[in-house]
Structure 1
Amino acid sequence: MMAALAKAISRATRTNVDVETVKVLVIFSGAGLLLSLVAAMIYGQAVSAALF
C-alpha cells in the first residue's frame, strides 16, 4: 500500500518520492493528529468546566 501511495504521489507531483519518505510523512501526520485530538479533548473539558 505504501508503494502505491508513493507511486501516486510521484505521478501527481512529477517528482521522485521514496517509500521511506511516505512512511515518515504518515508517522508525523499521525502524531500531529493524535496531539490535536488530545488538545481538543483537554480544551473541551476545560470549557465545559468553566461554563458550569
Structure 2
Amino acid sequence: MRTLAITAIANAFMRAFPASSLRADLFEQIALLCGAVLFVWLLSLTSGLDLSAGFF
C-alpha cells in the first residue's frame, strides 16, 4: 500500500514537471534550497556539542 502511494506521488510529480520544463528547474532550485536550510538547521543543533576526537 505504501509503495503504491509513493509510486503515485512520483508519477504525479513526473507529469506535473516534465524534464524540459522551466518548472522542473524551479522545483530543483527549491529542493536545493530546502536541503541547504535543513543542513544549516542541523549544524545549528550541534553548535554547542563537543564533536572532538576525544569525545569518541
Q: Give the TM-score, by structure 2 length.
A: 0.49
Q: What is the aligned length? A: 33
Q: Structure 1: which 4+ aligned runs deviate by more than 6 Å?
A: none
Question: Which structure's residues are more often helix, by fraction?
Answer: 1
Structure 2 unaligned spans of 5+:
1-18, 52-56
Aligned-residue identity in percent: 9
Where relative contact order (Cα < 8 A, 6+ residues apart) is larger, the structure is 1
Q: Give the TM-score, by structure 1 length.
A: 0.53
CA deviation vs aligned residue, 1:2-51 (integer Å, no higher than 9, x gap): xxxxxxxxxxxxxx732101010011000000000000111122238xxx
Structure 1 unaligned spans of 5+:
1-15
